[in-house]
Amino acid sequence: MKMAVAGNQWAVGQGGFYSGRVTVDGRSVLDWVYDCGSSTAKSHPAREIRDYARSHELTSNASKQIDAVFISHFDADHFNALSDLAGTVHRVARVILPLVSLEQRLVHLLSSQTPESPQDLEDYVRFVVDPGQALADIFGQTTQVISVTPRTDFQTFAPTPIDTVEPIDTIPQEDYEQPLEFGISVEEGPGLALLLALRVDGRWEPLWELVAWTPLAKWPSREALLASVVSEYGLTGTDEALRLLSDSTWVLGVVRDAAARQRLKRAYEAAGSLAPGLSSRTNRTSMLLYSGPVLKSPWLSTWRAHRRSPRPASLLERCQIDPWPRKVAWLGTGDISLNHPSAVADTRRVLGPKRLGRVGVLNLPHHGADPDYPEELLRTGDLRPNVVVAAAGSNNHYDHPGRLSLFEPPRTGAHLVVVSEERASRWRSDVSLRRSP
């Protein structure tokens, strides 16, 4: 039995769109997506989603679905193409996102580049103010929405025992001694793990795990922030403040108007939740995602990572990397600052050295921004990726990827790949695992 795991970083420009798929003997059994958005131009994610759905037969085959869409955080360039995705693929079973508070979500509106088109801006505000409703509008009621609570008390995630398994696919008997039954189990732990399991001798054996967790950013108390809004606007009390902040029409008015935006920023700054002169370089709450094997029985593996197009995107680049150590796992980091000691400690605690050691492809935090470069985490020696990917494109006024991302990876033996909006920059990694006889 051969299990293959393919990961694709799609060329959406400044933003993020990653897809993963597990196949067993050529049949797909698990599909997932991590972030789906771009601030470069809408046409790029639209094109990439089309190619993704087509190449994965997610439009033509009604029996195929995306099992999980993970959204790292509330910046538009990480989720603004979700409606495109919903309109293109047959079905999305569940969406998993971090459960951060309304006040925290609004920081993204105050601090990031907002869309120029009025409709896009309205969609963005609606999503941030009420993500549950926005997701129901996008995907319909049959898509389950799961929120992962940010926390600080992390422990290493143990993949077993499996509590409840939802059977998802069966490969019929003619090919094997008995039919192969696959299932998904969603386990709550220090975050959330989605396990792909195979039924062996009546028991579910986990094969592959997707572990998502959200480190808790340092944040003033809700009371302090609401009190500050009360005093800035001369309101009657925190109830009124909360009512205003949860009213998407009011928030839209604020975001549209420079002076009003400045005013709400002032309230946030007074409560200590935004540094004065706030830029995109603020440490934010982002949900990370690890994808890797949980294999007890003896499996042999191969690993290969390459541009999706046969030609390298530049003369300086290797077009394929595979003689390196077999590191079959992948780590996505959203826009978190992995330079922050608590985020480094949380990441090490949740994954443990074994999982970290398996990471072959690391998606650099925050599109390769210098202040968020995971220098500390790489220095611990647990994490030694073969490839680091910066998902950065044009319409990015932040100079992503930064100097550190450009020059540091080779020192740790890693190869930097920049995935932009150019088709030729798509990056793909393939893992193949075979059950030894």
First vs last C-alpha separation in the chain: 9
Beta carbon nearer to Zn ion, 292 or 393: 393
The DSSP letter of residue 67 is -
How many residues touch Zn ion (CB under 5 A)?
Answer: 3
Q: What is the DSSP string of 179-205?
A: -EEEEEEEEESSSEEEEEEEEETTEEE
Task: Output the smallest distance, CB 284 to Zn ion, in A.
Answer: 9
Residue 73 contacts residue 99 (beta carbons within 8 Å): no
As a whole number of angstroms, the distance between CA 29 and CA 389 comes to 26
Question: Which residue type sits at 37?
Answer: G
Candidates 72-80, 185-193, 225-233, 294-302 — which segment interacts with Zn ion by CB under 5 A? 72-80
Task: Output the smallest distance, CB 77 to Zn ion, in A.
Answer: 5
Beta carbon nearer to Zn ion, 126 or 281: 281
Binding to Zn ion by residue 335, rule CB under 5 A? yes
Task: Output the smallest distance, CB 118 to Zn ion, in A.
Answer: 22
Candidates 67-75, 86-94, 380-388, 419-427 — which segment interacts with Zn ion by CB under 5 A? 67-75
Beta carbon nearer to Zn ion, 48 or 75: 75
Name which of 361, 290, 362, 370 is nearest 337 in CA terms: 370
3-state secondary structure of 226: helix
Candidates 57-65, 119-127, 185-193, 332-340 — which segment interacts with Zn ion by CB under 5 A? 332-340
350 burial type by CB count under 10 A (0-12 exposed, 13-18 middle, 19+ buried): buried
Beta carbon nearer to Zn ion, 71 or 197: 71
Q: Using the rule CB under 5 A, which residue among 48, 75, 103, 346 binds Zn ion? A: 75
Which residue's C-beta sits nearest to Zn ion?
A: 335
Residue 414 contacts residue 385 (beta carbons within 8 Å): yes
The site map against Zn ion for 25-64 (x = CB under 5 A) is: ----------------------------------------
Beta carbon nearer to Zn ion, 22 or 343: 343
Task: Output the smallest distance, CB 123 to Zn ion, in A.
Answer: 17
Beta carbon nearer to Zn ion, 334 or 409: 334
As a whole number of angstroms, the distance between CA 278 and CA 274 comes to 6
Beta carbon nearer to Zn ion, 37 or 293: 37
**Which residue is it, tokens 């769109």?**
17
What distances in angstroms separate CA 176 from CA 5, 181, 320, 360, one per listed residue? 21, 11, 34, 32
As a whole number of angstroms, the distance between CA 143 and CA 68 comes to 9
Judged by the rule CB under 5 A, the positions of this chain that interact with Zn ion are 75, 77, 335
